[in-house]
Structure 1
């Protein structure tokens, strides 16, 4: 049956007591694809609870199928901000209820227009004031693990979210009005990095747009982390930001015991992990390869030592070797210190190693990793992905 005029009659049959009839009707409704949603908006009669539940399941399946089909499209979008927005639009469309016709780009355009009308300034402090004071966007303390906190449509409309989603709105509205804003993966948190008077400053979007100067962090470095300076200057890629979104969503769905959604998002996570770990070098020049400082592997990636052959999982990364000269020169391989170095949990042992990037290869076997510290640093999805949690890697004394 493909006649859309039959949709109201099919929906009424969802209340039939026969499981066979219900199953057949669901298949026929599902076959209408995206047309089902538009036709549903025309229906004049109220839906029963059973009808709503059945339609919800159909639309959830359709939304998963659509996101899976379109997922890789954002990988090739040019420019960090447009690529971030493309990925977040896909995630938000997936998380937005089927009876809402909302598009992230339009919501961001509207925020930018409102800001220009009120301030028309390129001062990042005024944009923070507009979003987090005038509009009242804030952290969602009461429902922090709600998956909707990763839905930009929800965050903008409800004016609440988690650190990374609030920072993303600040970044993308800033991009529209000509204010450069970057993400800063602060330990256990996520901040926005701006420039003031030629110096780095930070906006805590989760704390009502609080301004924090770099000097404030440096004064408190003993209480925060010894290597806080490296964190403050760390450049985070679009892929790394989306990786955080997916990890947050997997955890949120697990807390809700929605394992179907958790496993689906974990599949997207694995797809992104595989892309990051196996970037093609076809269009990269030799100079770019030599000077590339972005690590090939991220926490949760599985690797093999190219010389010794052991399997391991990446748990933490240093942009360059931070070991002492004594430790470094006692290393049998002595690779270059001017490259990313990785803290690894070695499979089927209690060993923790520190290895240079050029001594590692991707472990394409994707077999399980066994290590006594694994559960402290990672959550494993039902799909098999290792998702890094917020437990910090301790300062290492080499």
Structure 2
């Protein structure tokens, strides 16, 4: 059977609002950069099959939290999805096609699998851009159920959430209001940008500047006004020898962010490029 479906095009994504931006299809578009022969319909079919395999069970359960327990049991127990604790920074953990193939991933890629399957079963699961590891959340009667997709969908209580957030907040645990803000649902755009930032970090640390630059460019396709991505693409261009591109991006970054913490370092890079570090 031919599973092929059309993926969105990069140049169209900035015009879509967050609600219209397709999560799975855009994640597959990110993967298509690295795997140009992938068949996106094959992975859509896998999500449909995962959901179909437990639909009768889920439909027979009334409470959303219990539905989610059954979904997690099926995904992580029966199908074998798991967090890649041994090779966390393997780029394959960020490419959704590899996650479906290997049944291994990082927190955000496993969350996307959870979300896609749960939503097709009528369970409104959202992502959470939690500091550190990405999480998922489900509305329940008395608030939200927060789960860790990297650890088989394990529920997290308020005390553990505060402790997890503490190292990323200067050592202070968030109060109720701050924690509530942190736990707001992440938009599809925010999720996909975080996937690309993860890949940018992995490739940059490995000195693979062509791929790192591509990731920064893709962030700008999703979010054209993202200043960090503009700087990262400019620095990437510098590494791969595209001087005019580096000059244009870094100058624009300084124009938009003249008081950025790294403004002096960026100006020095512009001086090296013969741009004088001036911003008009």
What TM-score do the two structures reach when normalised by structure 2?
0.67
1:300 paired with 2:228, answer yes
1:258 paired with 2:145, answer no
**Unaligned residue ranges in structure 1 (runs of 5+):** 1-65, 278-297, 303-362, 376-398
Distance in 1, matches of 2:223 and 2:18, equals 20
1:154 paired with 2:63, answer no
Classify the secondary structure of the residue corresponding to 2:54: helix
Q: Given that residues 126 and 136 in structure 2 are in contact (C-alpha distance below 8 angstroms), is that contact kept between their aligned partners in structure 1?
A: yes
Q: Offset of 1:255 from its aligned partner?
A: 3.2
Structure with more of its chain in helix, by fraction = 2
Q: Offset of 1:234 from its aligned partner?
A: 2.1
Between Structure 1 and Structure 2, how many residues are aligned? Answer: 226
Corresponding residue for 1:93? Answer: 32
Give runs of aligned pairs for residues 117-128 of structure 1, distance below 5 A: 117=56, 119-120=58-59, 121=61, 123-128=67-72
Corresponding residue for 2:50? Answer: 111
Cα displacement string for residues 268-301 of structure 1 (whole angstroms, at most 9, x for unaligned residues): 1233332xx4xxxxxxxxxxxxxxxxxxxx6737
Distance in 2, matches of 1:112 and 1:102, equals 17
Cα displacement string for residues 95-114 of structure 1 (whole angstroms, at most 9, x for unaligned residues): 3363x545332221121112
Q: Offset of 1:86 from its aligned partner?
A: 2.5
Corresponding residue for 2:3? Answer: none
Distance 1:273 1:97, change over 3 A: closer
Distance 1:109 1:77, change over 3 A: farther
Distance in 2, matches of 1:81 and 1:191, equals 22
Distance in 1, matches of 2:210 and 2:85, equals 26
Q: Given that residues 194 and 202 in structure 1 are in contact (C-alpha distance below 8 angstroms), is that contact kept between their aligned partners in structure 2?
A: yes
What TM-score do the two structures reach when normalised by structure 1?
0.49
Distance 1:76 1:125, change over 3 A: farther
Larger Rg: 1
Q: Given that residues 74 and 83 in structure 1 are in contact (C-alpha distance below 8 angstroms), is that contact kept between their aligned partners in structure 2?
A: no
Distance in 2, matches of 1:83 and 1:117, equals 26
Q: Offset of 1:191 from its aligned partner?
A: 0.5
Q: Offset of 1:219 from its aligned partner?
A: 8.8
Distance in 2, matches of 1:107 and 1:231, equals 34
Distance in 2, matches of 1:94 and 1:212, equals 35
1:366 paired with 2:250, answer no
Classify the secondary structure of the residue corresponding to 1:200: strand
How large is the RMSD of aligned CA atoms in angstroms? 3.5
1:80 paired with 2:19, answer yes
Distance in 2, matches of 1:194 and 1:249, equals 27
Classify the secondary structure of the residue corresponding to 1:180: coil
Corresponding residue for 2:81? Answer: 137
Q: Offset of 1:84 from its aligned partner?
A: 1.6
Aligned partner of 2:143 among 189, 199, 202: 199
Distance 1:206 1:235, change over 3 A: same
Distance in 2, matches of 1:219 and 1:234, equals 18
Distance 1:78 1:172, change over 3 A: farther
Q: Offset of 1:365 from its aligned partner?
A: 2.7
Distance 1:142 1:374, change over 3 A: farther
Q: Given that residues 253 and 259 in structure 1 are in contact (C-alpha distance below 8 angstroms), is that contact kept between their aligned partners in structure 2?
A: yes
Cα displacement string for residues 14-36 of structure 1 (whole angstroms, at most 9, x for unaligned residues): xxxxxxxxxxxxxxxxxxxxxxx
Distance 1:194 1:371, change over 3 A: same
Distance 1:141 1:224, change over 3 A: farther
**Unaligned residue ranges in structure 2 (runs of 5+):** 1-5, 231-249, 264-280
Distance 1:372 1:221, change over 3 A: closer
Distance in 2, matches of 1:118 and 1:82, equals 30
Classify the secondary structure of the residue corresponding to 2:223: helix
Corresponding residue for 2:197? Answer: 247
Structure with more of its chain in strand, by fraction = 1
Distance in 2, matches of 1:213 and 1:239, equals 27
Q: Offset of 1:89 from its aligned partner?
A: 2.1
